[in-house]
Amino acid sequence: MPKPGGGDEGAGPRHVAIIMDGNGRWAKARRLPRVAGHRAGAEAVRRTVRAACEMGLEALTLYAFSSENWRRPATEIADLMGLLRRFVASELEEIARNDVRLKIVGDWRKLEPDIVAMLDDAIARTASNRALTLAIALNYGARDEMLRVTRRLMREARAGEIDPDALDEAVVEARLDTAELPPLDLLIRTSGEVRLSNFLLWQAAYSELVFTDTLWPDFDAAALSAACDVFAGRERRYGGL
Ligand code: IPE
Ligand code: IPE
Ligand code: MG
């Protein structure tokens, strides 16, 4: 069985995903409201996207809002959605100029209509860009993604479009939100928490995991490069020898 792309020992990752955690604790440490942490987190996103472009990554997937984050107070959700609007409005020019293609993963069409329209426009405007693919996970949950894939497959089977006996990994992969992205090489989580919190459970099956105590608002090019160095030193075996 061929190795799933990229990450020969010593080589850098093609696709990096980040669980951007710790905004609240960053703010708390400074006696600031949580929204100040999210604002500083948006700056870290800007820096990290720039760094990913400079490093020549093919894909960067950022966990921005999970399907479970709806459990937070309405005021915090409104702050996060406000920051998302501002981020897209202020960054689209630079993203487009840097040949970055924007993609959204998750059940994002359930966000507020003006955000969906804004994202649709940003996706269309960057669709032919060929450097970095920036995938932002919004209303994303890996279990929800698997449910959406399963529902679709069952509908296709019922319509006679797919034979259940022909189902294989490639058929599922092609229906995941991440379908056109390279295999996930490296998954980083900031803030010292050591869990996946429902992020990319299928895609991370053979990813290298790096957990750092750095809080997301403090993350920068050096932190990304350090995680990529750790990755380059790992030996990936995929169950073989
Ligand atoms: C990550 O920071 C941002 C989102 C989950 C949207 P948190 O808001 O989870 O920060 P902590 O974990 O409370 O420090
Ligand atoms: C994961 O962080 C989600 C995002 C970074 C968007 P959380 O802060 O929501 O995760 P838990 O609740 O600590 O597992
Ligand atoms: Mg958190």
How do the domains of the chain map onto residue ranges? 15-231
What's the CATH code, domain 15-231? 3.40.1180.10
Find the angle CA(132)-CA(137)-CA(140) to the nearest 5 degrees.
Answer: 150
* Predicted TM-score (pTM) above 0.75: yes
In what order do the strands lie in the sheet containing 15-19?
101-105, 133-140, 59-66, 15-19, 186-189, 208-211
Atom 1 in ligand 2: residue holding the nearest Cα: 197
What whole-number distance in Å separates Cα of residue 186 and Cα of residue 211? 11
Is residue 21 in contact with ligand 1, taking CB distance under 6 Å? yes
69 is an active site residue? yes
Give the atom of ligand 1 at the shortest distance from the alpha carbon of 65: 6
**What does the pLDDT profile of the chain (241 residues) look like in tens digits?**
444 444 467 889 999 999 999 999 999 999 999 999 999 999 999 999 999 999 999 999 999 999 999 999 999 999 999 999 999 999 999 999 999 999 999 999 999 999 999 999 999 999 999 999 999 999 999 999 999 999 999 999 999 999 999 999 999 999 999 999 999 999 999 999 999 999 999 999 999 999 999 999 999 999 999 999 999 999 999 999 9
Atom 9 in ligand 2: residue holding the nearest Cα: 69
98 is an active site residue? no
